[in-house]
Structure 1
Amino acid sequence: MTTKSPSIEWLSDPAVFRVNRLDAHSDHRYYRTVEAAKASAPMDMRQSLNGSWKFHYALNAQARPAAFYEESFACDGWSDIQVPGHIQLQGFGSPQYVNTMYPWDGLEDVRPPHIPEHNPVGSYVKTFDLPATMTDWPVYISFQGVESAFYVWLNGAFVGYSEDSFTPAEFDLSPYVRPGANKLAVEVYQRSTGSWLEDQDFWRFSGIFREVYLYTVPKLHVWDLSVRGELDDKYAQGTVKVGLRLGSGGQKSIGGTGPKSAARFELLDAEGRTVAAGLHDVIGSELDIALEAGPVQLWSAEQPYLYKLAISIIGEQGELIEAIVQQVGFRRFEMIDKVMCLNGKRIVFKGVNRHEFNCRTGRAIGEADMLRDIAIMKQNNINAVRTSHYPNQTLWYELCDEYGLYVIDEMNLESHGSWQKMGAVEPSWNVPGNLPEWEPIVMDRAISMLERDKNHPSIIIWSCGNEAYAGEVILNVSNYFRLADPSRLVHYEGVFHNRAYNDTSDMESRMYAKPADIEAYLNESPEKPYISCEYMHAMGNSVGGMHKYTELENKYPMYQGGFIWDFIDQSLMKKNRFGQEYLAYGGDFDDRPTDYSFCGNGIVYADREVTPKMQEVKFLYQDYKLFPNREGVKIVNESLFAGTEHLSLVYRLLLGGREIYRGRTDADVPAQSEAFVPLTLPEGNLAPGEYAIETCLVLKQGTPWASAGHEIAFGQEVFRIESSAEPTVPSGTLRVVEGDVNIGVNGDGWAVLFSKQAKSLVSLRYGGREMIAVPPAPLFWRATTDNDKGYSLGYEAGVWYAASLARNCTGIELRQEEHAATVVFAYEFRTCPGVKVEIAYTVYADGSVRVRTDYTGAAGLPELPILAVSFKTSADYEHTNWYAMGPEENYADRKHGARLGMFERRVKELPSRYLVPQESGNRTGVRRVTLSNPQGLGMTIDASLNPVECNISPYTAFELEHAAHAWELPDAHYTVVTVAGCQMGVGGDDSWGAPVHPEYRIPSNGNLSFAFTLKPHAK
């Protein structure tokens, strides 16, 4: 569409989404010289307009300065704003976080295609001097990302209009640009018809949030380039299919090329050697050729080998007009016998969903952010990423090509709030559905993505968007993808809700299906392979039970993995009223409506530090499985293409968590094979104790994403050498004093005091140092996690909260032996009738105290969140040293990635930094943990023979329960020690109703016991 009369009515007209916008094209780079092209130098025909712009903010269209684009309109007194950047993160308006509902829900009664009256407008002005290199040349402008609709003027003349926040919008400035100073004016609206299609689970921003630049082209320019590395049926011989679409500089559409020209092609391998070459005359405006490359190295995420295709456009006098270098990866992605295969091998996606996000700049992210994300993914065995739920910046795909990640490229479409309301499917006014008036705007988004991104080998699947229900419009999009690009498959999950449109997706894709549901599908002789486009909802303390999904990989060939939701927390840096920075979530900006902390689902914190959940993800996503024993280690290489030649096998023998032997060797295990590698361990009889054989594969040499020695995979075997000696009871004298109120047990340098009045142990003194600040008590409650809240643990099991706060002591008993004394406290609980707990403290002559807890359950009560004993000691005991499963937090259903060993942390480092304070920092398999003060003095908790779970924190479960942000927690006055016989798992199938799997829950009607010993510790 071409017009010179811009109208504000376009904002609510689905038929108007581009005016004077250039057609979408490939994102290839072009240069004036071959040398610059081969060196991937900055493009010399491009001029950035990033930086400071003049800016005016208005709450709606009526309040905007409508004539601001006119050359006579003075903007000198306006504010400044940075481009790229979001308006709401630079002091104008406020960010708003919502998930499925539209951000105006409950505020304005509108239905598509109408838009709300509250529609903030950002008026941008940039004055630029036309670069000398563009004088007498055509001049274009590229906006790489503007949310959500915008108008453009240059020197007072209307240039164009565009919607679609996440693909480039380009315009021809040639008729309006002039030498010297030029006034560029851009009017950005937050709401448009496009907003009905951009209801993603994210913060609602607006503005010019990706880069803006001017560019020019030579007199004969490759406007669009198609490059595809193809393979023969043996996946050995390569062919490069190349398509050029040429035109004269300054033309708005592609026409004839005019004078005779030619195109020279040269294919170079990674070492710069010429593999194939050819020279072809250009007849007309298009050229399609096939370049035979012979035997080639294949591209995969494991081995991302890239060739370079150098293209030179030659004029009729033999002069170089334009040089292009395009990366080429030879790979074939296809369906073979209902299984998705890469280069002939069944692929398993070990993936994540990823938003573009930075905690300070929102979706305006830079290269450093992307490189950090790539490194984290590669370091943690993540091999695939879904661009949820919009096309990313071009650089992201280039990095995925180079570093090796499989990409599902997802178009900018989500209309969640138009068909799903609080979980109920109700598509009465769903868009786009079967509405023909919405097809052009939706199809435009598909075309813009495919045409820009088509040359990236990392992209193996096109996605029709996310959570927009189903219908003819999306089905037509999928058919467009198949017709335009048969080399890739097509994905769409929404057909799960309406099987009439099942052909939209080439694979069965579901969100948050339980493992049993997946197995049911796979056992019914399905026609399509299965992937979980979203699974393991990683909100807060989550990712429990992930192994139940990854165990399906080797059980069902048609199960082909999934994508965790999601990669990074979407939380924004903010200051509280005391000037403290914290990571904020929905509602913290007074944004309403909001979905509060539902934006915190990442396995990476918003500041790009890895969460403890990644420990489990890394292990379960290993391509290399290691199974050690005392003779050696079985290595199962599940990689599709990579052997182990780039890895070293490092192995250690640990005794009591301490390394007593280390070795290193090579292992030759080709892809898709296994081998047993003998290990050289110390000869002779081993001393009694607990041993661990730890084996790991590490990088021999550094890579762009990790240094040499980085651990790729590990496996551990634990065994015990029993002692023939009988266990002994500490001997010596102790003195028992039974008073009217207290029972004292004293010895050499230590004293223990029990109170009949407080009904617990109240004092434990070692060397005059008091270890008990608040007495031990039974604990049945943990600070609810996000997943706990999602399935109403507080409502279902709140009786255990009350039982943890108050109890009735029904008996106190003192028993004395020759070298020990035992005090037993018996408790009952009004909120949990029939439940009985006894805590027996046995004091030995060396001052150690064995604490045994016996729980007698009762029928008719909800399951236990935790069975523990908790007490407080001074915050001076700020350092911990563990012999346990670690090093990161782990739980009954999230401990596959943990290993038995020694590690240490400060107490303040043990709670995890989840957006909402909740249960965190637990360790399973705790044999021993020591608390010490700066002088190295303190106390050891020992459970060597029957390990327990343990949580040491500055906060009680109840302080965590009642804090909405970390800054609401009290200063650290105590170190809180919680020793548990068992704690329920954390779950993670979803965060809105899925319970923890049954085997990781604690029935309340059984009998349970656990014990540990408190001992003095001196450095």
Structure 2
Amino acid sequence: MKATKADINWLGDVSVFEVNRLHAYSDHRYYHTMEEAAANASMSMRYDLNGTWKFNYSIRPDCRPELFYTSEYSSEGWDDIEVPGHIQLQGYGQIQYVNTQYPWDGLNELRPPALPQDKNAVGSYIRTFHLPTGWEANPVYISFQGVESAFYVWLNGQFVGYGEDSFTPSDFDLTPFLQDGENKLAVEVYQRSTGSWLEDQDFWRFSGIFRDVYLYTVPAAHIRDVHVRTDLDKSYTNGTLELDLKLEGKAAAGARVEAELRDKHGNTVKTFGANEVGNGLVQLREEIGQVNLWSAEIPYLYRLYIRVYDAAGNLVEVVPQAVGFRKFEMIDKVMHINGKRIVFKGVNRHEFNPRRGRAITKEDMLWDVRTIKQNNMNAVRTSHYPNQSLWYELCDEYGLYVIDEMNLETHGSWQKLGAVEPSWVIPGDKPEWHDIVMDRAISMVERDKNHPSILIWSCGNESHGGEVIYKVSQYFKEADPTRMVHYEGVFHDRRFNDTSDMESRMYAKPADIEEFLNDNPTKPYISCEYMHAMGNSIGGMHKYTELEDKYPMYQGGFIWDYIDQSIYKKDRYGKEYLAYGGDFGDRPSDYSFCGNGIVHADRKVTAKMQEVKFLYQNIKLFPSHDSVKIVNQNLFADTSALELVYSLEREGHEVLRGTLDVNVAAESESVVELPLNAKALEGGEYAVNVAFVLKEATLWADKGDEVAFGQFIFTQEGSQAAAAVDENLVSDIHVVEGDVNIGVRVGQTHALFSKQFGTLVSLKFSGRETIAIPPAPLFWRATTDNDKGTAMGFELGAWFAASLLPRCVEWKHEQKPDQYRIEFTYKLNISADVEVKVIYTVLADGSVHVHNTYKGTEGLPNLPIHALSFRTSPDYENVEWLAMGPEENYSDRAFGARLGIHGSKVADTMAPYLVPQESGNRTGVRWAKLTDNAGRGFKIEASGSPVELNVSPYTAFELENAQHVYELPPVHYTVVTVAGKQMGVGGDDSWGAPVHPEYQIPSNGELSFQFVIRSL
């Protein structure tokens, strides 16, 4: 649309989404010389307008300074604001987080495309500039890379243009409006527009100029658009390169174009070109011959230099373009990359920074791409909008497969309180929404089309179905047949099932996926969102990754999601914390549902990543006593860049270590002997550890970083030297039975049992107390986010009460020459038929053996945990354990853990999830030492089978009662919880999916565990 005057009514007009905006084009760079292009230097024909702008904030349109754009209007007294940046994160307006509901739900009675005029904040921006020297005679344009959600632009008092679509660029021609000397640029940004109905993503609702803004000029003959396409022959060996170019400018007529393809070492592979440009269009096709292929495993990029010469033969422009030769296609209903079946080991990624919101930096992106690669992910879905262009360049260079998703989500128009109710769904089949939706698709494709990392175009997210989205998919296929099209929403509206080339579902259970795959499907399957990683989650992920080898048409999935969307805030005492929805007084809000990341918002990797990295390994290692089976599931990369490191540990202590140079070809396996000589080992528990590490540093990791690992644990029954008996450790057992207490003294051990309270109330080793609050049976864990989603507080809450007040109904004891044994029997308020016993046995060596038994009954809910918990002094602030680790792990999330001696501060065992909850558990615990900073303390040892153990600054009940970390009390204790078993954490979703049955704890049986407490 063209116009010379701004109209505020465009905001609510679904037919107006751009005015005077330039057509979308590719995101290539261009230079005057080959030297600049080869150096990938800053563009001299681009002038950055990022930085400090003058700013005025208005709470609604009728309060705005309407004539601020005029030349005579003074911005003196206005505030400063940083561009790029969100208005709401710089001290203005309301920060708000909602998920599926629209942000005005319950506040305004609206149906699309109507807008809440009383709550449509306006940001007025002013920036002055002088044109760079030499630009005066050239055309000058301005590019806004991202503005949310709609904006008007004026230059020197004259209207320039209008744009919507927050996540793709809007460019305008400034040439007619420029003046000598200082130029006044004015931008008016509205938080709400018709586009807001299409941008109902699960994220914080911001507004403002949040991506780069820059001026640019072009040479006399300029390539406005580049379209690079590659193809491979049937052998996937020889490549073809096709180029479509659009030239403009006064020297375009009669210009000559030359293209030079260079390999990654800078050697020229092929030079070709066109002697004459007709109608500004150039089409070139060249057979390149044998090429190196691009894949996420080996992201080989060529460099194409497109040179433009004017009619006189002068070089006027050079465009450098990365080129990756790869072919993505469907073969026998299975997606293939370069002829090989692909499995997406993916993650959904929002652009986010806890201080800058979605205005992320290059440093953020570099950290992200390295972290994703380091943890064996090979794919990213840009949920749910096109990202900054730099992200795609990094994915090309580092090697990640990308689902590029257009900026469309209308979740709240069809799903209400979890129910599908599409009575007023948009866009649906409504023709009036066709153009605005299609514009977003075109803008994404035209900008991003040259990135080899992008394999799939996505029609958006959670916008139900209908004809409009179907037509978008048809556009994708016509405009770019080299890629496939994704859309999950057809699951809810099968009328246009061909919208998506693959069956894509969200949060389907493994059994549901298998049902689909076993029913002769016509499409391959991916989980575009799975493993909802909210809080303490990712349990049971192995059930999904195991499908990869079982079903060829199961082609992986994308974890929801990469990073917590939480924002720094200060509590009432001025201490900074990571806040979630509702913490800013935002209503409506979906509260902590913004915290689903496998990375914390401050870009610290969560403990959940331990499981992700292991289950996403392309190389599987299966060690045994004396060998390792290596299964290389890479499609293209052998193991020549890796070194095999092996070690043998006995009781957690390394016995030997070595390295081997092993090269296993892609898609093959091998068995390698390990020089461990297991038969000659003395008795004990051993762990064979094997790992592949990088021989040399890569873009994404350092030399020596681990890529894959495997572990084999075995017990050697051979001759074990008998432990020498230290007579000094064996003492007589002295028992003093009082009226209320029974004291037991053995050497430097002194235990005190209370008849009144029915428990151990004191245990001193060498005069130092270990019991601050006595042990008590525990059947409750602080609910995780997933637990709350399954209403654990309602369904299993009786175990909460049962844990608060167990009643000792009987005690009995007996003394023998070499031990003293006391047994406490407890009843619980949950049922008269449940019986719990805790037996303490003090031995002559001063150790205390603890045996906990549970006898259940029918009709009770499953147990969250079967444990014994006590509190000790906070001076015991260090923990070291021989257990599965090093990060926290649970029964359904321990595949990525390994047996070893691990240690940390007690304070660090509690994971910093947004909402305090159960965290810090370790499975497979053989022993643990709790010490003060002088090294004094006590040891807990499993007796018989390994136990689970949690050492925390807080009790389950303190964690349960806190909604934020700052609500937790000052640390007064170290809390020790020894468990026979704790239920898994789950992760299929966070709103009703139960923990898988094998990781639950039935309450109708008998349970027991044993451990020993002894002095260090």
Q: TM-score, normalised by structure 1?
A: 0.98
Q: Aligned letter for 1:55?
A: F
Q: For residues 577-976 of structure 1, what are the structure 2 equivalents within 5 Å?
A: 577-682=572-677, 685-722=680-717, 731-943=730-942, 945-976=944-975
- Aligned equivalents of 1:728 and 1:533: distance in 2? 60
Q: Deviations over 1:863-919 (max 9, x none)?
A: 000000000000000001110000000000000000000011000000001000000
Following superposition of structure 1 onto structure 2, how do residues 308-707 of structure 1 map, counting pairs within 5 Å?
Answer: 308-682=303-677, 685-707=680-702
Q: Which residue, out of 252, 255, 268, partners 1:274?
A: 268
How far does the alpha carbon of each residue in 1:283-320 deviate from its partner, in whole angstroms, 9 at most, with x for none?
22101111221100000000000000111101111100
String of CA shifts for 1:901-946, please: whole Å, max 9, x gaps. 0011000000001000000000000000000001101010001531
Displacement of 1:969 in angstroms is: 0.6
CA distance in structure 1 between the aligned counterparts of 2:679 and 2:537, rounded to whole angstroms: 44
Does the 8 A contact of 1:833 with 1:858 survive in 2? no
- Deviation, structure 1 residue 364: 0.1
Provide the C-alpha distance between the structure 2 equivalents of 1:191 and 1:826, rounded to a whole number of angstroms. 64
For the residues of structure 1 that align with 2:861 and 2:26, how far apart are their CA atoms? 59
- Contact 1:661/1:682 (CA < 8 Å) preserved in 2? no
2: CA distance, partners of 1:180 / 1:468: 48
1:833 is displaced (CA, Å) by: 2.7
**Residue type matched to 1:262 in 2?**
R
Alignment of 1:224-303 (within 5 A): 224-248=225-249, 259-281=253-275, 282-303=277-298
SS in 2 for 1:835: strand
SS of the residue 1:608 aligns to: coil
Task: Write the distance in 2 (CA, Å) between the matches of 1:963 and 1:542.
Answer: 19
2:944–2:1010 CA contact under 8 A, matched in 1: no
Look up the equivalent residue of 2:785 and give its one-letter code. Answer: D
SS of residue in 2 equivalent to 1:462: strand
Q: Which amino acid aligns with 2:529?
A: E
Contact kept, 8 Å, 1:267 with 1:274, in 2: the verdict is yes
Partner secondary structure for residue 376 of structure 1: helix
Q: Contact 1:928–1:944 (CA<8 Å) still a contact in 2? A: no
User: How far does residue 723 in structure 1 lie from its aligned partner after superposition?
Assistant: 5.7
Is the Cα contact below 8 Å between 1:950 and 1:977 reproduced in 2?
yes
Q: Please give the alpha-carbon distance, in whole angstroms, between the structure 2 residues aligned to 1:283 and 1:193.
A: 40
Question: Is the 2:626–2:678 contact (alpha carbons within 8 Å) kept by the matching residues of 1?
Answer: no
Deviations 1:369-402 (A, max 9, x none): 0000001001000000000000000000000000
Counterpart in the other structure of 1:254:
none
Shift of 1:682: 4.4
Q: 2:253–2:279: 8 Å Cα contact kept in structure 1?
A: no
Q: Distance in 1 between matches of 2:585 and 2:740?
A: 54
3-state secondary structure, aligned to 1:194: helix
Deviations 1:846-873, CA, capped at 9 Å, x for gaps:
2110000010001111000000000000
Alignment of 1:142-153 (within 5 A): 142-153=143-154
C-alpha contact (below 8 Å) 2:625/2:678 kept by paired residues: no
- Count of matched residue pairs: 1010
Q: Distance in 1 between matches of 2:312 and 2:660?
A: 62
* Distance in 2, Cα, partners of 1:346 & 1:531: 13
1:982 aligns to 2:981 (yes or no)? yes
**Residues in 1 aligned to 2:956 and 2:659: alpha-carbon distance in whole angstroms:** 44
User: Which of 143-152 and 630-639 deviates more?
Assistant: 630-639
Q: Any idea what SS the aligned residue of 2:547 has?
A: coil
Q: How far apart, in 2, do the equivalents of 1:78 and 1:130 lie?
A: 24
Displacement of 1:190 in angstroms is: 0.3
The code of the aligned residue for 2:147 comes to V
1:59 matched to which residue of 2? 59
Contact 1:87 1:122 in 2 (8 A): yes
Distance in 2, matches of 1:243 and 1:453, equals: 15
Code of the residue aligned with 1:445 in structure 2: it is R
Distance in 2 of aligned mates of 1:375 and 1:945: 42
Distance 1:738 1:814 in 2: 11
For 1:695, what is the secondary structure of its paired residue? strand
Q: What does 1:7-22 correspond to in 2, within 5 Å?
A: 7-22=7-22
For 1:63 and 1:861, the matched residues in 2 are separated by 61
What is aligned with 2:141? Answer: 140
Please tell me whether residue 77 in structure 1 is matched to residue 84 in structure 2: no
What residue identity is the alignment partner of 2:96?
Q
SS at match of 1:31: coil
1:266 Cα shift? 0.5
User: Are residue 198 (structure 1) and residue 199 (structure 2) matched?
Assistant: yes
1:659-695 per-position Cα deviation (integer Å, ceiling 9, x unaligned): 1100100111100000001111247621111000000
Partner of 2:43: 43
Match of 1:252 in 2: none
| Structure 2: tracts of 5 or more residues without a match | none
Give the distance between the partners of 1:247 and 1:934, measured in 2 at CA: 72
Inter-partner Cα distance in structure 1 for 2:273 and 2:945: 76
Secondary structure of 1:23's aligned partner: coil
In structure 2, distance between residues paired with 1:48 and 1:707: 34
- What is the CA-CA distance between 1:731 and the residue it aligns to? 4.4
* Equivalent AA in structure 1 for residue 364 of structure 2: D
SS in 2 for 1:224: strand
The answer to whether 1:119 aligns with 2:120 is yes
Task: Rate the CA distance shift 1:194–1:350 in 2: closer, same or farther, 3 A.
Answer: same
Q: Secondary structure at the match of 1:327?
A: strand
Q: Deviations over 1:745-785 (max 9, x none)?
A: 10211200000112110000011100000000000000000
Partner amino acid, structure 2, of 1:454: K
Letter in 1 for 2:216: Y
Q: Secondary structure at the match of 2:549?
A: coil
- More divergent stretch after superposition (586-595 vs 750-759): 750-759
- Identity, % of aligned positions: 63
- Distance in 2, matches of 1:558 and 1:7, equals 52
CA distance in 1, matches of 2:829, 2:350: 48
Contact 1:21 1:169 (C-alpha < 8 Å) held by counterparts: yes
Distance in 1, Cα, partners of 2:527 & 2:133: 53
Does structure 2 retain, via aligned residues, the 8 Å contact 1:130–1:178? no
Q: Secondary structure at the match of 1:365?
A: coil
Q: CA deviation at 1:818?
A: 1.4
Separation in 2 of the partners of 1:441 and 1:578? 47
* Contact map agreement 2:260 2:271 (CA 8 A) in 1: yes
| CA-based RMSD | 1.1
8 Å contact 2:943–2:1010 — kept in the other structure? no
Secondary structure of 2:284's counterpart equals: strand
Counterpart of 1:253 in structure 2 is none
Structure 1 gaps of 5+ residues are 250-256
Instruction: State whether residues 348 and 561 of structure 1, in contact with CA within 8 Å, keep that contact through their aligned partners in structure 2.
Output: yes
Aligned 8 A contact 1:657 1:902 in 2: yes
Cα distance in 1 for partners of 2:385, 2:992 equals: 28
Deviation at 1:368, TM superposition (A): 0.2
**Is 1:189 aligned with 2:183?**
no
Secondary structure, aligned partner of 1:292: strand
Contact 1:799–1:832 (CA<8 Å) still a contact in 2? no
Cα separation, 2, equivalents of 1:722 and 1:279 = 75
Matched residue SS, 1:293: strand
- Rounded to whole Å, the distance in 1 between the matches of 2:893 and 2:962 is 25
Contact preservation (8 Å) 2:253, 2:280? no
Contact kept, 8 Å, 2:682 with 2:719, in 1: the verdict is: no
